[in-house]
Amino acid sequence: MNRNGDTVRLHVVLSRRMAHNTDGRECVRFFAVKLMRALKIGIVLESTGLPLRQALIAAADAGAQGVEFDAVGDVSPDALSATGRRELRTRLRSLELDVAALNVPVRRGLDVAADLQPRIERIRKAMQLAYDLGARQVVVPCPKIPDDESQPRALLMREALEDLGRYGDRIGCVVALEIGYDPATRVKAYLERFDTGSLKTTFDPANFLLHGHDPLAHLAPLAGWIAHVHARDARAAGVSRGVQEVALGAGDVDWMAFTATLQVITFDGFLTVKREQGDNKLADVTNGVAFLRRFAAPVM
């Protein structure tokens, strides 16, 4: 019986005791309050299809508590001066929004030799920007974990992650690797080999579905390794079309169980609503925030 499974079972047992054991009610209620906390909900700004300023307003109007956006263009590390960073922080405070994370789009993975060092430097600059904006984490795509650690691809990936992990430890910023190719147990075993506290994961349930994994089954085994969550849904669309992204709540993800599990494993990051496809992505992410708020309250 794994530890995370025990945690879920313990919560169920304590909940039953609270319902049937009057003498133990207060101590059980205290345990639940200490363990559970409300989930924080954000929006990926690119999913709105709006320019940055309008997207921030749309996120605030939707009731989001935080935002994630790409560290590119006008909000790239090279474009945002110290003054620009202060102004952006002020704008975010005026809208009562936090930066949940910065996303770092890359054309090639950390396991590809071509232009790898400039790619690492770009991620490092984004990490410093994330720290300056209060996010303290960046989202970076995670390549499929190599089968053979002696392969050149495996060595490149390890060296790149060691570099970023050391830098993150030094400045106080996490690299939240966006996973989905590999099962949770393999991801955890791989990350445990690094001597750093700055390598974590971004969990996207739609990614897991798209690669043939049950997202709920792979969530609890990553307790302690999840820094960020993309709230994205997908659904099997038939044999010929495979699995396709859909609006949040319209897919195969069991969001009630998913959010309850996040609370049980004491996840304290953001669930950022993300939509890559669809004809009206702004409405989809706005409705997605409202949908998630049904499950955001602490599980008691």
Please give the span between the terminal C-alpha atoms of the chain, in angstroms, as a whole number. 24
Q: What is the per-residue pLDDT for 237? A: 76
Any idea which architecture 39-293 has in CATH? Alpha-Beta Barrel (3.20)
Per the model's pLDDT, the better-predicted residue between 297 and 115 turns out to be: 115
**Of 6-20, 73-87, 256-270, which gets the smallest average pLDDT?**
6-20
Hey, where are the domains in the chain? Answer: 1-35, 39-293
Beta bridge mates, 199: 175
Cα–Cα distance between 233 and 68 in angstroms, integer? 17
Cα–Cα distance between 140 and 122 in angstroms, integer? 11
pLDDT at 169 over 80: yes
Which one, of 40, 104, 36, 28, lies nearest residue 72 by Cα? 104
SS (H, E, C) 220-241: HHHCCCEEEEEECEEEECCCCC
**Which tens digits make up the pLDDT trace of 81-114?**
999 999 999 999 999 999 999 999 999 999 999 9
pLDDT band at 278 (very low <50, low <70, confident <90, very high): confident
| Dihedral sign for Cα atoms in the order 81, 73, 248, 201 | negative
pLDDT at 224 over 70: yes
> How long, in residues, is the chain?
300
**Which tens digits make up the pLDDT trace of 3-52?**
344 444 434 333 333 334 444 444 434 344 445 678 999 999 999 999 99
